[in-house]
Amino acid sequence: MVGLATGGYSSAQSPREPPLRMSSKTYKGKCFCGAVELVTTGAPALMAYCHCESCRRWAASPVSAFARWPAGAVKITAGAEHLASVNKTPHTARKWCTRCGGHLFMEHTETRVVDVYPAVLPGLEFKPREHLHYQEAVLRIVDSLPKNKDLARAAGGSGVLLPS
């Protein structure tokens, strides 16, 4: 999704994604060294934790947090030349800064949504609504959020919830 760096995508969402409540709120963020800057527009469509093995390994952490926007709501505003990408699968592209290695976001190429890592956006109040791929969790988290075995049914998953 090279168009993300130039802002060339519409905000159309996949039917599997919940409807986005747009607002004029923007969040500005940057990588660890500040070479790559981005801005998101509107409220995130989803904020959650992912426990899948791929996200854990990418994050070098037992759990990964994300805030999801339609691709058209995320724009690179500076440092696009320092943005690199890796595709473990044809469905996702994980982006980072080549100068500092700071992870920035992950594009879901089929559903045209972007998961921005909350630490990249200091002004974002992270309010997760669920856990995804909890069957793969290596760190059990005690909270009141739903623990999806894989994905919610609306996102193409089984919809099965696991106990905390």
Read off the pLDDT band of 4 (50, 70, 90).
low
Residue 84 reports pLDDT greater than 80: yes
Distance CA 148, CA 26 (A): 29
CA dihedral (55, 59, 65, 68) in degrees, to 10, reads -70
Of 2-6, 31-35, 45-49, 97-101, the range with the lowest mean pLDDT is 2-6
Compute the radius of gyration of the chain from its Cα atoms.
15
Q: Which of 51, 45, 48 is nearest to 65 (CA)?
A: 48
Residue type, 138: V
CA atoms within 13 A on the CB side of 59: 22
Return d(Cα 62, Cα 104) in angstroms, integer. 18
87-110: pLDDT as tens digits: 999 999 999 999 999 999 999 999
pLDDT at 20: 44
State the SS3 of 46-70. Answer: EEEEECCHHHHHHHCCCCEEEEEEE
| Residues 6+ positions from 51 with CB-CB distance below 8 Å | 62, 63, 64, 131, 132, 133, 134, 135, 136, 137, 138, 139
The pTM score is 0.85
Neighbours of 162 (CB within 10 A): 13
